Structure 1
Amino acid sequence: MKKIIVPIDFSEHSEFALKAAAKLAKKNQAEIYALHMLELSDAILAKTPDSIHPEALFFLKLAEKKFNEFLDKDYLKDIKTVPVVKHFKVFSEVNYVAEKHNADLIVMGSHGTSGVRELLVGSNTERVVRNANVPVLVVKNDLDRIDFKQVAFACDFSEESINSYLKATRLFDEMGTKMHMVYVNLPNDRFKSSLEIEHLVVNFFTKAHGNLDRIKDVHYVSDYTVEDGILNFSTKIGADLIAVATHGRKGLSHFFQGSVGEDVANHSTLPVITFKI
């Protein structure tokens, strides 16, 4: 992990994200690209034949000054921090900046458990997650430590989720994080027998690795909802991070039907990291 993107809106939660990114950066000798989205109207952004509109230039300089003051933190000392100011609040641009700088991770702050809309649905975080081709780490509080030792990776073991699983494996191996994969078996029409689940898992690892070495890290749990199964399993193993896979613009993976992905992040007291399928 060499480059980390942190969207900044000067809120308390974006500072939580910046602190978490700083801890990760120090641990991995990484750089931080702090990104501020400056929301300006089309009229102000309209250019004269030779230069940016004077009013737009004024707001840009004002934002840069405030941004530099915000980044003047003791915990950023000895970390290469690059401020990036974009002219308009289009959150697909976060992914553009991440790809332009070949970033390994986006870290975003988000509100706590005051409702799904506060975290993902219709929020800036949701927009970034849906557009991002790199993993997105969502934090909701000031983390005392960032040494993720145990992660619960929720998986349906479908072939389409292999790519996101491999991304997660590479990242967690690099971080020295133990990954526990969990399949939540549900009652009624989504119930699968043990044999059916085992066939899924064997096919999954055979196509992902050509071997079954990691099958020992797979856990099957039964619960009434997927989110309850994931959260209860995370508590049981003492996880300090939850990982989920997303379809990006197409919505959450079919494993996370409805609002399961949002519910997991919303009700979890742990950080949540997403990987695009």
Structure 2
Amino acid sequence: MKSLLVPTDFSKYAEAALEYAAFIAKIRKSTIHILTVVRSTDEAEYKKAEVDLKQLLKLDFLANIKIETYIKIDGQICDKIVECAEEVEADLILMGSHGTSTVSDILLGSNTDRVVRKSEFSVLTIKHKVSDMKIDSIVFASDFSPESNRIFSIVRTFADKFDAKIHLLKVNTPTHFEPTRVSMEKINHFIENEGLSPISGDKYRVALYSDSTQELGILNYCIENEIDMMALGTHKHSFWQLMFESTSKNLVTHSFRPVLTIPIPE
């Protein structure tokens, strides 16, 4: 986790994401790459972006962190974010979000949704300023199908680096119900495939939770267990994963905790 990309529109939402990136960078000795996108070729707007970036670097929480800044001109904002992520070989994109879902010329909000759904990069979305900077617990919400094994290494690495406990969470809903026996068989098979073992020092617990919707189940579980971060996969094809992609978008919009979304490889 050496390369962190933080897109900014200089709003308080983007600043919350930047502060969280600084928290990670100080622990992991990461470089933060700050990107802003100028939506026109007007020289005055470019100059203003330069001034705003210089002002941003004066924030106290960025002290003693290696920072690189970038200005991209024109084009689709989502595309420019992904382009920059590729250039800096980002391990993680951190984005603020104010929950806007309209088609508007803004950097955050709807563009956060697009990056989460379409990017090949893991995206950590911060909806609000996080007052208690810690990662002691991470929920991995999943159906624990074989595809889940493709992305769990990212969650596990994240947890290992912060010595966090992973909560393996399966949410049952009235429309997507599964008997406990079936859920536990899947989870136990998942644990076996991942080689998770308390004897080896792995910190995890299994949780089955019932609620009216997937996102409410995840949110309510996190509230009841004081979870620091949520993690889940996004996929473009199977019905269940299309449903869960919608869940991840809803969590990004409504969550009070950072949400880590990880693209499931084809």
Q: Do they superpose with TM above 0.5?
A: yes
Structure 2 segments unaligned to the other structure (5+ residues): none
User: Would you say the 8 A contact 2:234–2:245 is kept in 1?
Assistant: no
Select 1:261's aligned residue among 220, 241, 248. Answer: 248
Alignment-derived partner of residue 165 in structure 1: 152
Query: Per the alignment, do residues 223 and 58 of structure 1 end up closer, same or farther by CA in structure 2, a change over 3 Å counting?
Result: closer
CA apart distance, 1:13 = 0.8
| Pairing 1:241–2:219 present | no
| Pairing 1:125–2:112 present | yes
Aligned equivalents of 1:231 and 1:151: distance in 2? Answer: 12
User: Would you say the 8 A contact 2:168–2:204 is kept in 1?
Assistant: no
- Aligned-residue CA RMSD in angstroms? 2.8
Counterpart of 2:83, as a letter, is Y
User: Would you say the 8 A contact 1:130–1:251 is kept in 2?
Assistant: no
Secondary structure in 2 matching 1:259: helix
| Pairing 1:276–2:263 present | yes
**Deviations 1:130-162, CA, capped at 9 Å, x for gaps:** 233332111122222321111111111011222
Secondary structure in 1 matching 2:217: helix
Secondary structure in 1 matching 2:6: strand
Alignment-derived partner of residue 14 in structure 1: 14
Alignment-derived partner of residue 51 in structure 1: none
Counterpart of 1:200, as a letter, is K
Identity in percent? 32
User: Would you say the 8 A contact 1:94–1:132 is kept in 2?
Assistant: no
Query: Per the alignment, do residues 185 and 88 of structure 1 end up closer, same or farther by CA in structure 2, a change over 3 Å counting?
Result: same
Paired residues for 1:197-236 under 5 Å: 197-209=183-195, 217-236=205-224
CA apart distance, 1:264 = 2.5
Select 1:71's aligned residue among 40, 57, 66. Answer: 57
> Which range is displaced more, 25-34 or 159-168?
159-168
**Deviations 1:84-138, CA, capped at 9 Å, x for gaps:** 11112421332232232222211111116xx7659xx980101121233332111
> Which range is displaced more, 145-154 or 130-139?
130-139
Aligned equivalents of 2:251 and 2:54: distance in 1? Answer: 35
Aligned equivalents of 2:58 and 2:109: distance in 1? Answer: 31
| Pairing 1:104–2:91 present | yes
Secondary structure in 1 matching 2:151: helix
User: Would you say the 8 A contact 2:101–2:109 is kept in 1?
Assistant: no
Alignment-derived partner of residue 85 in structure 1: 71
Secondary structure in 2 matching 1:217: strand
User: Would you say the 8 A contact 2:167–2:204 is kept in 1?
Assistant: no
CA apart distance, 1:170 = 1.3
Structure 1 segments unaligned to the other structure (5+ residues): 45-55
